[in-house]
Amino acid sequence: MHPDLPIVMPLVLEPAPFAVAAFAFFLAGFVKGAVGLGLPPVAMGLLSLVMAPAQAAALLVVPAFVTNVWQLAAGPNFGAMARRLWPMLAASVVATLVAGTLLHGAIGGGAIVALGFALIASALLGLAAPRLRVPPDTERWLAPLAGAATGVVTAATGVSSIPAAPFLGALGFAREDLIQALGLSFTVSTVALAVALAGSGILSVGLAGVSALALVPALLGMALGGWVRGRVSEPVFRRFFYFGLLILGLQLAARGLI
């Protein structure tokens, strides 16, 4: 483990960091339940306020994996989806592992700045809601590039939605297929990130246990978010969500640059 990283086990057991962590996973789960994505950006943004980004990413592993598998399993076309997306997924795994070896434990403020800009980019894309389309011929060579870029962002920040989510959204999937595609991409990225973190000595057995405990508030938040989704206009909720994401990203980027 990198000497500059604080020890997370005692940290998260202290009252203030424990409260922040519990709230972070509850809120992140709520957002994912309400709009279908957003657990890693929200959780990472809040957790990075009280611990090193690499260790925040380690705490995210179990909640992200379970919720993403849940999302993936609910879709109708896993086989066809995997065959179509494997170039992007393979590139994402390779890039995550390579970048994880180079980056984890060797960055501090840089990871916070990168996370901040990733959140800003995600928020601006969400607010702009551009109608992007990727033609089939372009998809063949763009998919590995999108996967590789996603892997680098995942290794550096723990957030696997940039640029994977916009790219998948531009492939013209039907709504349920898109949800499953996102679940598949996020699941693969989470597994690759867990391997990279374990190889760097950041994801220990004890920290994995704390990550498993974080699943409780995340699932509670998902349940509440799903309940709210049926009662609040999704466009209105998504607008507020992306504005909040933008503010959080600006705050993290500014704090990392100071």
The tens digit of pLDDT for each residue in 92-120 reads 999 999 988 887 555 556 766 777 787 78
pLDDT of residue 210: 77
Q: Please state, in angstroms and rounded to a whole number, the distance separating the CA atoms of residues 187 and 177.
A: 15
The distance between the two most distant Cα atoms of the chain, rounded to a whole number of Å, is 54
130 cis-preceded (ω within 30 degrees of 0): no
Q: For residues 74-79, give the mean pLDDT.
A: 78
* % of the chain with per-residue pLDDT over 90: 18
Q: Please state, in angstroms and rounded to a whole number, the distance separating the CA atoms of residues 54 and 70.
A: 25
Q: For residues 239-250, give the mean pLDDT.
A: 77
96, 189 contact by CB (below 8 A):
yes
* pTM of the shown model: 0.78
Q: For residues 40-56, give the mean pLDDT.
A: 78
The tens digit of pLDDT for each residue in 17-29 reads 678 888 999 998 9
> Does the structure show a pLDDT above 80 at 245?
no
Going by pLDDT thresholds of 50, 70 and 90, the confidence category of residue 222 is: confident
Q: Please state, in angstroms and rounded to a whole number, the distance separating the CA atoms of residues 103 and 113.
A: 14
Going by pLDDT thresholds of 50, 70 and 90, the confidence category of residue 6 is: very low
